[in-house]
Amino acid sequence: MRALQKLVRNGNSTQVTIPRPMLIALGWLTGEQMILELLEDQSLRIRRPVERDFAPVSAPRMMFDNTSAGVK
């Protein structure tokens, strides 16, 4: 599916209108939060957020051995 759309000025923002058939095909709802990603090839990706978009990246868990080396 493809649509030619114009960028529209709305206050201090610029918007792109997503045609209703595309919204229906994607299962997206008006008012739903989206993630916008500017890619290296200067294209724009729009997607639903996933948990890792909000959760801080944490260091891998470490396990410590409580036994002393050489003690029997």
Could you tell me where the beta strands, DSSP code E, fall in 1-72?
7-10, 13-16, 35-38, 44-47
Q: Taking the domain 7-49, which CATH number applies?
A: 2.10.260
The DSSP call for residue 40 is T
> pLDDT truncated to tens, each residue of the chain (72 aa)?
999 999 999 999 999 999 999 999 999 999 999 999 999 999 999 999 998 888 776 677 777 777 766 555
Domain borders along the chain are: 7-49
- pTM, rounded to two decimals: 0.64
pLDDT for the residue numbered 57: 65
